[in-house]
Amino acid sequence: MAHDNDSARPGVGPDFDAIDTYRDLHSHPELAFNEARTAQVVATHLEAAGYAVTPGVGGTGVVGVLERGEGPTVLLRADMDALPVAEDTGLDYASTQSATRPDGTTTPVMHAYGHDVHTTCLIGAAYALAADTSWQGKILAVFQPAEEVGKGARAMVADGLFDRFGKPDVVLGQHVAPLPAGVLGVRPGPAFAASDAMKITLYGKGGHGSRPETTQDPVVMAASLVMRLQTIVSRTIAGSDTAVVTVGSMHAGTAHNIIPDDATLQLSVRTFDPAVRDKVMASIERLARAETLAAGSEREPDVTLIESFPAVVNDAEASKVVADSFGTIPGLMVVDPGSVTGSEDVGILALESGAPCVYWLLGGADPTLFAGASSIQEIAAIVGGLPSNHSPHFAPQPDPTLKVGITALVTAAKTWLA
């Protein structure tokens, strides 16, 4: 397979080519807890690199262990699952895969969040660290399922991740983003937001569309509630705090002339401060109940928490150590990207093990798009115009992104390994 710049291809190990592996994974995305093919690719490479490999941890997770004498234990984590998105990148290796959801419906599937980048980089780092004889200690290469639904880290912990393989001294990982390739973003403190997904079902009284006076219309309730929810951040959260409340799904009815019995909303909530989270969640429930009361509904709404995981809080001291080590890599730029309102469940691995966490952003955009940008503000303006994570157009630049990602993982790991 031809590539634009073969001399820059970050292949590591006798049978590993990062770009070919990435393209293969990108072409074969799998939804949460269904990452069987991806897990097999991972296990094959880890075995070739000399790791002790345990598949099936937390469902489809894979753990590779490489131990070399006395020293610290470093956990390197990558996630493997993809999203129910129809790819529209035009790449020659674009996904054409589809899958069946838990509810039985069929959906197209795409690596729209970059987990194929994360997996490829950790495979490459595993090869590089195995070939490097300068360190002592223990590496836990953790390939996690189901990050997109916020359940994979908990599933691996519940399956005895730390009881079976030992607790780490540090948890390290990275997330690709539309920053220019060659930029690494390290943020001490709260780095990624906590995530809560909610479902609200409003109950009314259905009937004929020509006789609304005989009904209690849940569609009107839902429409009003959507607007009311926008006041939570603007009117109940202090300007110095951060929160996001998004209604991502709204469903009611089956025909134009029938008022349905119920309407359902699905929400995404992002916060950094637990006190702010509690306030937002209480406000959502209060407004949902108030809306049904105002409409005269005879039944209270169902407000259900679908999934929840905490903010990723990077240890300040460990973040400085990692950022300083990145600063020694020629040609790279290390920045503080600020707090990201996107969410990640990697923080659960740190919380459950009691280890410090450092989770950084890996630039994945074509660096030529940023030619002439000389400040963080100018870079941010260009990033704002690029397809973001979760977009059907999201397409990280394999070269040099993979090379930088592999180098970053190896460099960060070796700051702890004796």
Directed axis angle between helix 316-326 and helix 398-414, to 10°?
Answer: 120
What tokens does 162 get?
């730390």
User: Mean pLDDT throughout 256-266?
Assistant: 98
Say if strands 183-185 and 357-365 run parallel, antiparallel, or are unpaired: antiparallel
**pLDDT band at 12, cuts 50/70/90?**
low
Across the strands, what pairs with 177?
363
Number of other residues whose CB lies within 10 A of the CB of residue 272: 22
pLDDT of residue 8: 40
Directed axis angle between helix 18-27 and helix 115-131, to 10°?
Answer: 150
Sign of the C-alpha dihedral computed for residues 75, 337, 405 and 44 taken in this order: positive
Q: Which amino acid would we find at residue 138?
A: K
How distant, in Å, are the alpha carbons of 45, 75, 133, 177, 407 from that of 127? 8, 15, 12, 24, 11
Q: Which amino acid would we find at residue 311?
A: A
pLDDT of residue 13: 57
**pLDDT band at 14, cuts 50/70/90?**
low
What is the end-to-end Cα distance of the chain in Å, rounded?
39
Percent above pLDDT 90 for the chain: 92
Torsion of CA 346, 349, 352, 358, to 10 degrees: -80
Listed in sequence order, the residues at least 6 apart from 342 whose beta carbon sits closer than 8 Å to its beta carbon are 175, 192, 193, 270, 389
What tokens does 146 get?
């189901």
Res. 35: pLDDT tops 80: yes
Backbone angles phi, psi at 184, to 5 degrees: -120, 130
Res. 97: pLDDT tops 50: yes
Q: Which amino acid would we find at residue 148?
A: E
Give residue-wise pLDDT tens across range 371-405.
888 777 888 899 999 999 999 999 999 999 999 99
Directed axis angle between helix 18-27 and helix 36-49, to 10°?
Answer: 160
Q: On the CB side of 124, how many CA atoms lie within 13 Å of its CA?
A: 27
Res. 5: pLDDT tops 80: no
User: Mean pLDDT throughout 200-208?
Assistant: 97
Listed in sequence order, the residues at least 6 apart from 158 whose beta carbon sits closer than 8 Å to its beta carbon are 58
Res. 7: pLDDT tops 50: no
Number of other residues whose CB lies within 10 A of the CB of residue 36: 13
pLDDT of residue 373: 84
Res. 175: pLDDT tops 60: yes
Res. 9: pLDDT tops 50: no
Contact 178, 365 (CB under 8 A): yes
User: Mean pLDDT throughout 169-181?
Assistant: 97
Res. 251: pLDDT tops 90: yes
pLDDT of residue 374: 77
**pLDDT band at 182, cuts 50/70/90?**
very high
205 vs 296: CA distance, rounded Å: 10
24 vs 37: CA distance, rounded Å: 11
User: Mean pLDDT throughout 99-121?
Assistant: 95
30, exposed or middle or buried, with CB in 10 Å at 0-12, 13-18, 19+?
Answer: buried
Across the strands, what pairs with 64?
53, 141
The DSSP element (H or E) to which 209 belongs, if any, is: none
pLDDT of residue 77: 98
Res. 11: pLDDT tops 60: no
Q: Which amino acid would we find at residue 24?
A: D
pTM of the model: 0.91
User: Mean pLDDT throughout 240-258?
Assistant: 97
81 vs 367: CA distance, rounded Å: 26
Contact 361, 340 (CB under 8 A): yes
**pLDDT band at 6, cuts 50/70/90?**
very low
Residue spans of the domains in the chain: they are: 6-188+315-414, 193-308
Average pLDDT across the chain, whole number = 94
Number of other residues whose CB lies within 10 A of the CB of residue 258: 13
The DSSP element (H or E) to which 285 belongs, if any, is: helix 274-294
CATH superfamily, region 6-188+315-414? Zn peptidases (3.40.630.10)
Contact 144, 153 (CB under 8 A): yes
What tokens does 91 get?
């790449």
Question: Of the CATH numbers 3.30.465.10, 3.30.70.360, 3.40.50.170, 2.60.40.1890, which one belongs to the domain with range 193-308?
Answer: 3.30.70.360
Contact 99, 380 (CB under 8 A): no
